[in-house]
Amino acid sequence: MNDREPYRTAIGLQPAALQSCIDAVTKRLETLDVQPIHDGPVVLAGIGASLYAAVVAAAQMRSQGLRAFALAGTDLYDPEIDAGNAYIAFSASGRSEEPARAMELRPLAHTYGIAKSDGTPISRVVKQMIATHSGADSGPNTTSYLGSLMTAALLADKAGTPSGADWHLLPKLVEQVLEETRPAADRAARLLSGKKSIDCVGAGCAYGTAGYASLLIREAARIAAQDWDTLNFLHGPMEPNDADSGVLLFGDGREVKLAADLADFGIPSVIITTRQDIEEKPNLVVIPVPRFSTSIGEAILQAIPAQLLIATLSEEAGLPVCNFRYRQTDTKRDN
């Protein structure tokens, strides 16, 4: 069944999708054996947007005392690589070849799958499955990406030191962010419109958000984009930037000074942050979002304005629906 929605329409579905995910995953975790994840190390494997969800999730898990790290599924194609005590395959559709193959090559390992529904190819190659029930999605992924993050947050709370976050507050906060950040997201889109490339920068959980945003920009708006760890960006990658390129930053730390410096250099920049004390100036648009009690919650909230500004860029490019021009035939499994 085709459940693809136009990109901007799917962005608006995310509050309800998150609530559905919280309800379904909370119930699933009542019977899920998380001891192998608790014991660690745990390897989170994905590809595309799901790899960036794994990067966010691994950073959150480490902050809760779990030994976790993210790898592309292809890094696990050698079955002799003994990287972890447990493996979690992230695949929004449940059909991605690379994380499925990585799990398939480890029939004796503790393996888990996270996808938007049961009965997918991923579910047939893992020992335990968690369906996010995030519902209808778009191309590029919106609801399924946030559903993966929400699932990882709930899983980290059960397997690691509890975060203390009240996740039931998040759907309403997402609804609030959708409404309140729309004007700033439109200003940001105008600032970045027509740029030859856009760098996306963040650290920790926000490094995964930067990766997700760069993929959205490439898929939805067909603009060259790249993700960077914040401090790595300072060590040379920022050198090509000028008035014809842009930078999208996520975070409250070194990203704040970097955004101001870039703007002063004449480089159009946008920062999505929980800081409420940053003023806009020429070449700098600031998009504040509410502070949440855990990094993965903030990653969810910070993804929203990035989605909105990229939706505007995609519509300006005449691409309200993302249809791949160069789709490959060996990236998805049918069974």
Give pLDDT tens digits for 215-272: 999 999 999 999 999 999 999 999 999 999 999 999 999 999 999 999 999 999 999 9
Report which DSSP code applies to 239. Answer: T
Sequence letter at residue 241: N
Which residues have C-beta within 8 Å of that of residue 232, sequence separation ≥ 6? none
The pTM score is 0.96
**Are the C-beta atoms of 113 and 91 separated by less than 8 Å?**
yes
pLDDT at 3: 61
Selected from 3.40.50.10490, 3.40.50.1970, 3.40.190.10, 3.30.530.20, the CATH number assigned to the domain covering 4-163 reads 3.40.50.10490
**Angle at CA of residue 278, ends 273 and 282, nearest 5°:** 105
pLDDT in tens, 128-147: 999 999 999 988 899 999 99
Q: What residue segments make up the domains of the chain, in order of their start?
A: 4-163, 170-316
Distance, CA of 299 to CA of 296 (rounded, Å): 5
pLDDT for residue 1 is more than 70: no
The second-level CATH assignment, the architecture, of 170-316 is 3-Layer(aba) Sandwich (3.40)
114-117 long-range contacts, CB within 8 A, separation 24+ = 114/88, 114/89, 114/90, 114/148, 114/151, 114/152, 115/90, 115/91, 116/92, 116/143, 116/144, 116/147
pLDDT at 2: 47
- What average pLDDT score do residues 58-79 get? 98
Distance, CA of 256 to CA of 67 (rounded, Å): 29
Local confidence band at 56 (pLDDT 50, 70, 90 cut-offs): very high
Q: Comparing 326 with 181, which gets the higher pLDDT? A: 181
* Angle in degrees, 0-180, between the axes of helices 49-63 and 205-216, rounded to the nearest 10: 170
Which two three-digit tokens encode residue 327?
Answer: 């789709």
Q: Do domains 4-163 and 170-316 have the same CATH topology?
A: yes
